[in-house]
Amino acid sequence: MGETQELLVPNDEYLKSGIHIGTKFKTKYMANFIYKTRSDGLSVLNIQQIDDRLRILGTLLSKYAPEDILVVCRRESGWKPVKLFGKLTGARFFAGRYPPGILTNSALNSYTEIKVMLVVDAWPDRNAVLDAVKVGVPVAALSDTNNQSNYIDLVVPCNNKGKKSLGLAFYILTKEYLEKRGLAGVSNPFKHTVEDFTEV
């Protein structure tokens, strides 16, 4: 059997955060990422696939300058990790309501141009996704078992509702982004913890 890549964080860390615990509802698209269904009806996502996709997303984002990235999160449980990701990487973000038209209406003072978008949940963040599609910007989305994949270029399976799982996801993405861009490493280690990204 082939050697699998070491996980980005220890398996226990993933389990503790509940990043793999989905919902009772599953879409056809997300079925590929589901490892099993628990006796209480909750779907369980495959941790190896979560890890693989977070690694792909970290690599994808690291190819872009921070000002070319926009992270959108309507859901309150993601505001703290999204803001810290933005602060540490320099990426732009909206934690809360996404202002419509900022990508599509150049007459607005707040008009902005980006090259890639990350949404925490494609359903509450759908206006942002539709704007990105209109201007031809690729969209990555953290996706729970109940998410659809319409208009999403990169699906990252995970519990996108829990504070701990979102804290862990953004901790990993921040670390990956900074390390891959040479902004953190042996001489300048990433000092933040998962707890820094987690809403209490």
Domain encompassing residue 148? 11-180
| Inter-CA distances, 71 with 67, 116, 129, 148, Å | 11, 9, 11, 19
Residue 60: inside a domain: yes
Residue 161: inside a domain: yes
Residue 196: inside a domain: no
Residue 4: inside a domain: no
Number of domains in the chain: 1
Compute the distance between CA of residue 52 and CA of residue 154 in angstroms, rounded to an integer.
12
Question: pLDDT class for 3, splitting at 50, 70, 90?
Answer: very low
Residue 168: inside a domain: yes
Residue 35: inside a domain: yes
Residues with Cβ within 8 Å of 171's Cβ and at least 6 positions away in sequence, in order, are 9, 81, 192, 193, 194, 196, 197
Residue 190: inside a domain: no
The least confident of 55-59, 99-103, 131-135 is 99-103
Residue 2: inside a domain: no
**pLDDT tens digits, one per residue of 28-56:** 999 999 999 999 999 999 999 999 999 99
Identify the CATH number of the domain in which residue 128 sits: 3.40.50.10490
- Tell me if the pTM is above 0.85: yes
pLDDT at 68: 97
Question: pLDDT class for 24, splitting at 50, 70, 90?
Answer: very high
| Inter-CA distances, 90 with 4, 48, 114, Å | 32, 29, 13
**pLDDT tens digits, one per residue of 64-92:** 999 999 999 999 999 999 999 999 999 99
Q: How many CB atoms lie within 10 A of CB 82?
A: 23
